[in-house]
Amino acid sequence: MRHLTTTAAVCVAMLLASPAALATTEFSFAGLLADGPLAGAAFSGSYSVDLGSLIPGASTELPLLSFSMQLGSATYTLADADFAPTAVFALGDFVGLSFVDATPVNLLLRPQIAFVPGFDLFVESYLAYVTLPDLGGVNSGFGNYSVAVIPEPATMALLLAGLLGVGVATRRRLG
């Protein structure tokens, strides 16, 4: 009976971690503005994209399924984008986000932003912004960001099932 229960648990975990469930992947990003009137300000957020439609080795842009970013008191979402935001890949490698919100609302409280992807490498990508000019007349700046994958519950379930399987096998060998 125990063997049947263990087998059933492993099968459920494998179904949860199927390619269909893992196609949509969520990422987090964070960065620091390097220059301009907002130099030193931190920004962070998350986005999701369907990596199931990515062709290995191909250069393509995949539409973002979700997007949220916080910069100071300003929040940016997918609905704020001026055109379809994408995750950009060059020869299968992620080179950055393409997202523009140039709507002039209140530049003091909500700067206009643009995520600009790199040409060939992610390190070439950056976030550009425009706000009200500072005392020196500067009204724009740039910042770099990093991206990390947010583990999905299905991935964690599969990992847990694997660890349980190793534990059961070890216990049977020793006991």
Residue 69 has pLDDT above 90, yes or no: yes
For the chain, what are the domain ranges? 24-150
Residue 156 has pLDDT above 80, yes or no: no
Residue 12 has pLDDT above 50, yes or no: no
- pLDDT score of 122: 93
Residues 49-75 have a mean pLDDT of 93
Count other C-beta atoms under 10 Å from residue 47's C-beta: 23
- pLDDT score of 7: 44
pLDDT tens digits, residue range 75-98? 999 999 999 999 999 998 999 999
pLDDT band at 171 (very low <50, low <70, confident <90, very high): confident
SS3 per residue for 73-133? CEEEEHHHCCCCCEEEEECCEEEEEEEEECCCCCCCCCCEEEEECCCCCHHHCEEEEECCC
| CA torsion angle 50 51 57 62 (round to 10) | 20
User: pTM above 0.85?
Assistant: no
Q: What is the identity of the amino acid at 116?
A: V
pLDDT tens digits, residue range 99-149? 999 887 777 778 999 999 999 999 999 999 998 776 667 789 999 999 998
* DSSP one-letter code for 36: S
Contacts of 8 (CB under 8 A, 6+ apart): none
Residue with tokens 């842009």: 61
- pLDDT score of 160: 74
